[in-house]
């Protein structure tokens, strides 16, 4: 059996190939797949979302050096990111999308004890990317509660 970078999903009109995904944000409840322009290529929720997320992680690889890899194996391409900040309203660390400023991912204070430190590391990593450095692997456990 050969390894493929294609992942086909059924749609109302046929099938869609997710191979060109730039960002993939998943959980056991949902998976969101974004293209290079931060458009939603595919959204799935429910029981099949976790299975699809695992299939995507096995087949599609993030762009090395230009992608923030999240703790659960999700990834966000730097071109998809608009803002990284701690919300005054919720106290959570938020990463928003460059296209519409919608939420890409959130780090809650009840799960992460050092959100300021995590925010600094993420901001430094993104600013260092401007200088030609690769986005580093984040040690998520260092910031956990």
Starting at the earlier edge strand, list the strands of the sheet with 93-97. Answer: 81-86, 93-97, 103-107
Give per-residue pLDDT as tens, 40-68. Answer: 999 999 989 999 999 999 999 999 999 99
Give the C-alpha separation, 98 to 64, whole Å: 20
pLDDT at 9 over 70: yes
Tokens of 34: 């974004």
So what's the pLDDT on residue 4? Answer: 66
Q: What is the pTM of this model?
A: 0.91
Mean pLDDT over each residue of the chain, to the nearest integer:
93
Average pLDDT of the residues in 3-17: 88
Per DSSP bridges, beta strands 30-34 and 40-45 are antiparallel
| Residue 2 predicted with pLDDT over 50 | no
Give the pLDDT score at 31: 97
pLDDT at 1 over 50: no
Q: Supply angle C-alpha 96, 98, 102, rounded to 5.
A: 40
Task: Assess whether pLDDT exceeds 60 at residue 39.
Answer: yes
Q: What percent of the chain has pLDDT over 90?
A: 88
Q: In terms of C-beta density within 10 A (0-12 exposed, 13-18 middle, 19 or more buried), how is residue 12 classed? A: exposed
What are the backbone dihedrals phi and psi of residue 19, each rounded to the nearest 5 degrees, phi first? -60, -25
Kindly give, in sequence order, each residue whose CB lies less than 8 Å from that of residue 75, ignoring residues fewer than 6 positions away.
Answer: 23, 24, 25, 62, 67, 68, 69
Tell me the pLDDT tens digit for each residue of 98-130: 888 999 999 999 999 999 999 999 999 999 999
User: Per-residue pLDDT for 28 more than 80?
Assistant: no
């Amino acid at each position: 059996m050969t390894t493929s970078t294609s992942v086909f999903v059924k749609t109302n009109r046929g099938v869609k190939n997710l191979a060109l995904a730039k960002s993939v944000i998943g959980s056991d409840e949902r998976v969101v797949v974004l293209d290079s322009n931060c458009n939603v290529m595919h959204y799935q929720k429910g029981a099949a979302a976790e299975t699809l997320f695992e299939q995507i992680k096995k087949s599609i690889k993030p762009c090395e050096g230009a992608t923030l890899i999240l703790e659960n194996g999700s990834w966000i391409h730097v071109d998809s990111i608009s803002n990284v900040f701690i919300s005054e309203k919720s106290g959570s660390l938020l990463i928003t999308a460059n296209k519409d400023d919608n939420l890409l991912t959130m780090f809650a204070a009840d799960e992460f004890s050092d959100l300021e430190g995590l925010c600094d590391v993420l901001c430094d990593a993104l600013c260092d990317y401007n200088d030609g450095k690769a986005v580093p692997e984040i040690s998520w456990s260092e910031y956990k509660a």
